[in-house]
Structure 1
Amino acid sequence: MASPALTSALRRVDAVFGGMTAPAEGCTYCYGEEHLALLAVPGAPLGDDLLGPFFHEVPSHFPDHPAVVRRLLPEVFARLAAGRVDGMGFMPTGLGRVAWQTWPAEQAAAIAGFLDTWWRETLADPAPRQGVNAVWELSVDFHQAVAPLLDVWAAAPRGGVEEQHLADFVERWIDDLLWDQVIGWSADESLLDELRVWLVGHAVDRLSGHPDPLLVRKVALLALGEEERDAAFAELVAPAGRGGPAAT
């Protein structure tokens, strides 16, 4: 069940986007006309069979792709708030393709409000149903940015649940970031560079008491260029007998 804050954010999304429609047109090779016709019916539920495919469809399949995304948002966000990422949890998404930040202020604010609340509550939950990584990946795609997510983490109190999630996040992604193997949630190298800089500036201090002494030292290596990083990593792990990916 969604929290009061998330329920309020959903109501705002529904108030802004709930009556919107999109042209009943699109790729009839992929969708039946009866399916496309639902886009022109305000609030008609699309369900599992159509919501995900419509939300992840390439823009060229619809004459007005932003209108389709607007039409889908109440149902998409309600699903996410209920802890369901089935059919939603892969990239890219329609919301990440439409530059929604440039939409009318009321629309952009409703989307930003939901995403901010969803992320904050995920970090504050000791065991979020969807998992921090799943929400992170979708949120990065939705925002096409990492700063809105990192700003929330930076402002979180020290020693709290958010810090434990940060440790788990770093453990999950540090090797991928070190070896430039991140895929899926960001093909934009500038976002990965921004994340690396942020982790060096914030995670090194916050994770200083982590039980794995190598973790913080690995994070510090993100400040180095690729060649320096490789050499420093080899020196770091040599005494422990650990290494990076096997040479090819």
Structure 2
Amino acid sequence: MLDEIRDLLVLQDRDKRLQTIQKDLDKLPQEETRAKTKLSGDQAAVDKATEALRACELEVKKVELDAETRRTTIKRLKLQQFETRKNDEYQALGHEVIRYEKDLDGLETRELELMEETDGLRTALAEANAALAKTRGLVDADLASIAERKANLLAARDEVKAERDRLAAAGPANVMPLYERLLKTKGGVAIAPMHEGRCGGCHMKLIAGTVIKVQAAKEIAQCEDCGRILYAD
């Protein structure tokens, strides 16, 4: 094998490692998004429970105000009953008192029902918050793991990149431009083995002259179809 080919194979190995590292780095934002998405369902449950509790508490206040209004009215009617000297007016006020007392009884019953419902909603909200906190803990752990992997990948990329630059600087000057061009246009595989008379890159059958040239290993040989640099498998 030509020394130039051997050097370029080492360089290509570093380039492949850089490609793999970059692919892993490119996946991390999607993993972060997926991790954060796990919170959306639990957060929606908390928001729904919070809104339901708020609506119920507002309804309780409304019923309380209505009940208090009825109590005030009943007191006023009873005072009027006490002050009146007319029998028919006394009886009419009595009927009004009874009507308002029935209203008050219904409102007090409704208030108790709403208070019981409020207790249930508070429990539901507490459970939703607990579920959210648990999920947030898991998500935080996932995000921390992703951040650690990112740091490790960036460190590995810097290390491999430095080694790659050193190898490229020391590489065969007459072949490096060809190598760099093929690396960009051939999916990161600039050098491929020849196996059973075929190019290991595009898998096309090579002409006899190219096969002999590769086997002789005295000069750079390229696949006549894809242009990749070839070496004997």
Higher strand share: 2
Query: The TM-score by the shorter chain falls in which range?
Result: under 0.3
TM-score, normalization: structure 1?
0.19
TM-score, normalization: structure 2?
0.20
Higher helix share: 2
